[in-house]
Amino acid sequence: MSRPIPVALCLLAIAIVCGAGARAAAADDKEVLTHDESISFLAATCHEGAYDRMLASGARPLGRWVPAASWQRFLRMDDRFCFRMISRDLSATDIHPPAYFWLLHAWGLAFGLGPATGAWLDGLIDLATLLALFGFGLRVLRRPVPAAAVALVWALSPAVVPIGSEARQYALFALSTVLLAWALDRALEDRPSPGRAAALAGASALGMLAHYQFALILAGAGVAALVAARRGSRRGALWALGAMAAGTLAAAALHPGFLESFAREQAQTSGLAEAGLDHRLGRVARTLAGGIVPGSLLPTPLAVVIVGVVVAGTAVLAVRSRGPRRRVVLLAEWVAGSVIAMYLVGASHGEAMGAKYLAAAWPLLAFVPVLVARRLPPTVAATGLTAIVALGITAGLQWRSPDRPAAARVLEGAQRVAVDTDRRGELLRITLLLPPRTPVLAPDRRSTSPRSVRARVRVPEVGEVLVSARTSHVRVDGVSAPAGG
């Protein structure tokens, strides 16, 4: 066995062990669902449509005291293999495609659903992404050690571990992007074949069923195919374009209600009025710099400096690289740049920028430091990559899921709990903290306003708790305290 093979295997082992350790630590500490996870579980348990109909009709359990179990049932697996219902409910009530929620449903049937579900399911998806990234890197870089280094840089990025701690579709979005880039490279660089076309079509369909922003990635891949056609790979480009179109049509056939989701997403967009350009630029800078250092630790000016250096270096690298290496750098720039551009022009809401929103870009951006390192003296390159990996390991192992809110201890001992919201992402995760028999009151918007619910328990009886999602506080015996989480 030649020396590069054991070195590459060692790098992959470090990526897998350290990445798994960080995710296991996050799973052990996690005791509460996030807002978005509550919605994921609602969709995966095939109850999203039922919840929406309950809100519209004011049916039980809204507006009356009922056991917490009456709300908790919305996040429990009652129906089996109801994939069509998941798709239909997402079209009618949500803005996301169904692939991840299909996976989450299957996982729930096999293992159940809980606060740590996202870490375990997404951990397996991340493992598949790591192996696919190594395979793709081996094609682009032609050597196993640099390919393994790309996988290592991605797996231990401070931006990646938090993405996999939440039961959302972003890990699957990243995997489908790597599979598409790999299949596109095979279609353009090798002789066209039905097998390569099928792989590219499958990656395209998976991506469109994972996240609708995958359309931006397909657009960039289409441009890459057209550029390849101008440079002589016309037959491969035609096969690639046809395969991507076929995959997109297959996704539309599997989830025909996608246009309804598009319309709903546009209706939710508030443009720049919700959050000004300064706010958005600051979030972009901290998010991009967070691929190296956790963005929450960075002041905005330092983040801007780091981003400026990285953008300039990536632009120079794109100019100096050739062939598949140049294509992967340009595709990384396109994926990150198109998502950021949509955010800056107000096509997404003011908080829609963070590590998870660039999940598809991080695997491709991991090529950048490795390609740069290959142009440096070996000692400098090894030192730089070691520093990046060490920083990633430190940040990943220190990261933890959000702490259990202090209010949870109060809720567990409450005799009755009133919640001043019926929002699915807030109400349901609050009720999961309660024993099933605890009486809960949530407002019926048609007859009971959130304000009247707060007024009914403004001076609570002994053991009665008001949870205010509006102010993120709990009120116990007249004393208000942060709800946390």
Which residues are CB-contacts of 79 (< 8 A; sequence separation ≥ 6)? 45, 46, 85
Cα angle 216, 219, 224 (rounded to 5 degrees) comes to 130
Lowest mean pLDDT among 114-123, 166-175, 308-317: 308-317
**Can you give the pLDDT at residue 455?**
47
Mean pLDDT for all residues in the chain: 81
Number of Cβ within 10 Å of residue 17's Cβ equals 11
**Can you give the pLDDT at residue 475?**
45
> Hey, which residues does 419 pair with through a beta bridge?
467
**Rounded CA gap, 93 and 42, in Å?**
11
**Can you give the pLDDT at residue 205?**
96
Q: What are phi and psi of 48, to 5 degrees?
A: -65, -40
**Can you give the pLDDT at residue 430?**
84
- The structure tokens listed for 117 are 């579900």
The single residue listed with the structure tokens 């991605």 is: 154
* Cβ atoms of 470 and 426 closer than 8 Å: no
Whether the predicted pLDDT of 476 surpasses 50: no
pLDDT digits (tens, 9 = 90+) for 26-82: 667 677 788 889 999 999 999 999 999 998 888 888 888 899 999 999 999 888 999
Whether the predicted pLDDT of 331 surpasses 70: yes
**Can you give the pLDDT at residue 176?**
97
From residue 37, how far is each of 141, 198, 245, 274 by CA, in Å?
A: 38, 33, 32, 24
pTM greater than 0.75: yes
Strand order in the sheet with 416-419: 66-67, 439-441, 416-419, 464-468, 473-476, 479-482
pLDDT digits (tens, 9 = 90+) for 170-182: 999 999 999 999 9
**Can you give the pLDDT at residue 478?**
36
**Can you give the pLDDT at residue 245?**
96
- The structure tokens listed for 453 are 């619910």
> Hey, which residues does 481 pair with through a beta bridge?
474
- The structure tokens listed for 367 are 């090529």
Using DSSP, state whether 429 is helix, strand or coil.
helix
Whether the predicted pLDDT of 462 surpasses 60: no
- The structure tokens listed for 278 are 């300064």
**Can you give the pLDDT at residue 182?**
96
Top pLDDT among 214 and 444 is at 214
pLDDT digits (tens, 9 = 90+) for 413-447: 678 888 888 888 888 888 888 888 888 888 876 65
**Rounded CA gap, 18 and 152, in Å?**
10
Task: Over range 455-482, report the average pLDDT.
Answer: 47
Whether the predicted pLDDT of 292 surpasses 80: no
From residue 142, how far is each of 159, 166, 324 by CA, in Å?
A: 27, 34, 10
pLDDT digits (tens, 9 = 90+) for 215-247: 999 999 999 999 888 877 788 889 999 999 999
* Amino acid letter, 239: W
- Write the DSSP assignment of 167-200 as a string of letters: SSTHHHHHHHHHHHHHHHHHHHHS---HHHHHHH
**Rounded CA gap, 185 and 189, in Å?**
6
* Cβ atoms of 384 and 196 closer than 8 Å: no
**Rounded CA gap, 215 and 74, in Å?**
32
**Can you give the pLDDT at residue 398?**
57
**Rounded CA gap, 25 and 399, in Å?**
8
**Rounded CA gap, 169 and 212, in Å?**
11
